[in-house]
């Protein structure tokens, strides 16, 4: 029996790198697609280059010809769309780029797959941000009304809807994971959780004095990215494609995350954190909490990593990196 081949768009990001590891360990041939840039940014997957079943190719979410060529060449069994301008705050500054890569990029990729490799199974990285400021249902599930509150969220909702249309209209095996916030030591340094743990490590080592943050009262459902990529893979192993909320089912505020990280360093956060209004979003989403019961029932998936373990993992990783 030949090995399955998986094509991962956005392989050098947090989720893409954990997913690549998972699939390689399961015996897949993994083809990772990354954007061509003038700066080398493959640190999340550098450790995979010595794996014989891992290959990195260039591509992006706007070059349709490259999408067709890549799909035709590798004939993947599974296609994972994880590529995006994924910073919510930045999407207010770069709305057109965000829509082009996140919304239209998804349209381009699934259409290219329909024409070139229609038997492939497709995974779409949808987002809890699509629920936006809808407070009708505190616990969000697959049926909760969506009310996006940022260009990023609106673009994700477009992609999510397009995937549903291709599933029902063309019979494509396309599933969407509505993932709530998921973090790790590989999270980009501009995201609030990684910004916090890196700053705390630097403050602990005497290399930084102050951490500037925006809204400390935003509540999020935070999990570990390494757990969440398992749910992505599980979705594409089902006979029937569908949408699934992937979450822990509990929330914590940004302030709680800050307190936990500073506690690990033996520091009082109030002595080091300053409020910076420039970091506030034009339209804030105060509370996001997911209901993962469908994923638990159908996929048999459940988050394994606790909030405290996640903060500790990220802080200790950043402390080790900064110490070097």
Cβ-proximal residues to 264 (8 Å cutoff; 6+ apart), any chain = 200, 311, 312, 315, 316
Counts of helices then strands in the chain (DSSP H, E): 11, 15
* Burial degree of 51 (CB within 10 A; 0-12, 13-18, 19+): middle
Question: Token match 């390494």: residue?
Answer: 226
Collapsing DSSP to helix, strand or coil, 115 comes out as helix
Q: What are phi and psi of 213, to 5 degrees?
A: -135, 160
Catalytic residues: 127, 129, 152
Q: E strands of 141-201, at which residues?
A: 173-179, 182-183
Contact 76, 67 (CB under 8 A): no
What is the chain's alpha carbon radius of gyration, rounded to the nearest angstrom? 19
End-to-end CA distance of the chain: give it in Å, rounded. 45
**The total number of residues written for the chain in this structure:** 324
Q: Which residues pair with 30 in a beta bridge?
A: 6, 54
| Separation between Cα atoms, residue 148 and residue 130, nearest integer Å | 5
* Cα–Cα dist 220/2, whole Å: 42
Encoded tokens for 316: 């200790």
**How many CA atoms lie within 13 Å of 17's alpha carbon, on the beta-carbon side?**
19
């Amino acid at each position: 029996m030949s090995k399955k081949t998986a094509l991962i768009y956005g392989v050098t990001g947090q989720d893409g790198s954990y997913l690549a590891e998972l699939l390689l360990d399961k015996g897949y041939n993994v083809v990772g697609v990354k954007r061509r840039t003038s700066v080398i940014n493959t640190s999340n997957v550098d450790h995979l280059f010595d794996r014989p079943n891992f290959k990195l190719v260039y591509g992006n979410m706007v070059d349709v010809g490259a999408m067709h060529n890549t799909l035709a060449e590798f004939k993947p069994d599974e296609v994972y769309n994880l590529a995006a301008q994924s910073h919510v705050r930045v999407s207010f500054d770069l709305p057109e780029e965000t829509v082009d890569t996140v919304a239209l990029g998804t349209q381009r990729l699934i259409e290219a797959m329909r024409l070139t490799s229609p038997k492939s199974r497709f995974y779409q990285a949808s987002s809890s941000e699509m629920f936006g400021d809808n407070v009708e249902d505190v616990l969000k599930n697959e049926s909760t009304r969506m009310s996006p509150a940022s260009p990023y969220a609106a673009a994700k909702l477009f992609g999510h809807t397009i995937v549903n249309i291709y599933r029902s209209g063309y019979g494509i095996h396309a599933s969407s994971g509505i993932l709530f916030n998921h973090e790790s030591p590989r999270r980009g340094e501009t995201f609030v959780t990684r910004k916090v743990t890196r700053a705390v490590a630097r403050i602990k080592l005497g290399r930084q004095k102050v951490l500037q943050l925006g809204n400390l009262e935003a509540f999020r459902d935070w999990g570990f990215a390494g757990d969440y990529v398992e749910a992505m893979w599980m979705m594409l192993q089902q006979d029937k494609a569908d949408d699934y909320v992937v979450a822990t089912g509990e929330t914590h505020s940004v302030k709680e995350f800050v307190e936990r990280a500073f506690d690990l360093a033996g520091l009082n956060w109030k002595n080091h954190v300053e409020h910076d209004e420039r970091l506030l979003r034009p339209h804030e989403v105060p509370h996001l909490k997911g209901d993962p019961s469908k994923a638990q029932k159908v996929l048999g998936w459940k988050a394994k990593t606790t909030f405290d373990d996640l903060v500790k993992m990220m802080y200790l990783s950043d402390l080790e990196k900064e110490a070097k």
